[in-house]
Homo-oligomer: A and B are copies of this chain.
Amino acid sequence: MNNYGTLFRISTFGESHGPAIGVVIDGCPAGLVIDETFIQSELNRRKPGQSKITTQRKEDDTFKILSGVFEGKSTGTPIAIVIENQDQRSKDYSHIENTYRPSHADFTYDAKYGFRDYRGGGRSSARETAARVAAGAIAKLLLKTVGVECYAYVSQVGDLKAPHYTQLDLSKTEDNIVRCPDATTAEKMIALIDQVRLDRDTIGGVVTGVIKNPPVGLGEPVFDKLHAELGKAMLSINAVKGFEYGSGFDGVNLRGSQHNDEFYSDAGKIKTKTNHSGGVQGGISNGEDIYFNVAFKPVATIMQDQVTVGKDGSEAIVSGKGRHDPCVVPRAVPIVEAMAALVLADFYLRNRAARL
């Protein structure tokens, strides 16, 4: 199923080289001011062709709202958003019709469905994430009405790591093309990505997400824990290989006496001195910053010959053509933010039914 969310629910559709991609947002509360300029600015952050370190595919990614908005406000009915595909150069992809690109979804789609729309990866293309960004923009608008802010930035490229988020000024994320708020690290990252591109290769990275000012009480206690849904949402983004929140994998090495976050009272508000919990305890937000890391593998499409097989099992050689990202994380930043916003917006609405 191509939908996500329980009360704030999105359904995306569309293939890379079909007529359009889009999303239907169902369950957006009525009365929300839908700022179309903001939605476009979010799409612009994700769209290809932004800089020398991203793919040069040209897509305007202009959107059209087909329903659910009247006189500038959400009506409570489904908001359908469509983004037409412009740059469809289908000829680029004829070489993969009968060949399985390594570490792509070509083989698994064929195995599952019997055939596939092979043009540009079809449904498995990261182009689908534009629909998420559009929906996420509306989720962000909803969250802003209660003061919640969703941030993300590039915290690692290859082995280059930025400092911990608490030492960064997150307002500087958009100051450079790699979207790392630490200027020094950003410079090194850009140089590394550029080198990788010249090597006709690709490299992985990490995006860190930070949610500021979350309400206390979001998340459902057992299967739909706040961090479990965040994890699923992030892992559903193309190329993601791992998710951790708060202390994450490093927390494994700590003792309980080091890891526990002591409570204290600050002007009548209960807070924690440290935040290894990453703002979530027992699956429910405690009001501290929610933060998490999302690992992205190196992009599978490389400008080099690779050995593979054809549909019929015969050996074949395949090589990337045209326009691809040497590193996906700079463009993944708005996608991570969008998915985080969708998770939070949904839990925000679900929480309205928690008490009498």
Among the 9-residue stretches A38-46, A47-55, A166-174, A251-259, the one with 4 or more Cβ atoms under 8 Å from chain B is A251-259
CA distance A222 to B212 in the complex (A): 27
1/0 contact trace for A1-17 toward B, CB 8 Å?
11110110101111100
Residues of B within 8 A of A79 (CB): 13
Residue of B nearest to A156 (CB): B252
1/0 contact trace for A46-89 toward B, CB 8 Å?
00000000000000000011111011010111111010000000
A270 vs chain B, min Cβ distance (A): 6
A284 contacts chain B at the CB level, 8 A cutoff: yes
**Contact with A249, one of B128, B220, B295, B306 (Cβ below 8 angstroms):** B295
**Given A19-B64, A206-B249, A297-B251: A13 touches B112 (CB 8 Å cut-off):** no
CA distance A65 to B256 in the complex (A): 36
Let me know if B13 and A68 touch, CB within 8 A.
Answer: yes
A21 vs chain B, min Cβ distance (A): 7
CA distance A295 to B158 in the complex (A): 22
A272 vs chain B, min Cβ distance (A): 8
**Contact with A232, one of B6, B75, B112, B232 (Cβ below 8 angstroms):** B232
Let me know if B27 and A262 touch, CB within 8 A.
Answer: no
Q: How many copies of this chain does the complex contain? A: 4
A92 contacts chain B at the CB level, 8 A cutoff: no
Residues of B within 8 A of A222 (CB): 2, 12, 123, 128, 236
Let me know if A203 and B255 touch, CB within 8 A.
Answer: yes
A260 contacts chain B at the CB level, 8 A cutoff: yes
Let me know if B113 and A259 touch, CB within 8 A.
Answer: no
Let me know if A82 and B105 touch, CB within 8 A.
Answer: no
Let me know if B201 and A257 touch, CB within 8 A.
Answer: yes
1/0 contact trace for A299-318 toward B, CB 8 Å?
11110101111000111000
A164 contacts chain B at the CB level, 8 A cutoff: no
A292 vs chain B, min Cβ distance (A): 9
**Contact with A11, one of B24, B111, B116, B145 (Cβ below 8 angstroms):** B24
Let me know if B241 and A196 touch, CB within 8 A.
Answer: no
CA distance A115 to B244 in the complex (A): 29
Residues of B within 8 A of A270 (CB): 100, 107, 309, 313
**Given A1-B9, A220-B1, A223-B236: A66 touches B252 (CB 8 Å cut-off):** no
A115 vs chain B, min Cβ distance (A): 7
1/0 contact trace for A82-113 toward B, CB 8 Å?
10000000000000000010111101110111
**Contact with A67, one of B20, B108, B352 (Cβ below 8 angstroms):** B20
A281 contacts chain B at the CB level, 8 A cutoff: yes
Residue of B nearest to A215 (CB): B111
Q: What are 25 A-B contacts defined by CB distance under 8 Å?
A: A1-B223, A3-B223, A11-B26, A13-B67, A13-B79, A15-B68, A18-B66, A19-B66, A31-B114, A76-B355, A77-B221, A103-B260, A103-B261, A107-B281, A123-B221, A199-B255, A203-B256, A205-B252, A242-B245, A242-B249, A244-B295, A252-B297, A256-B301, A259-B297, A265-B315
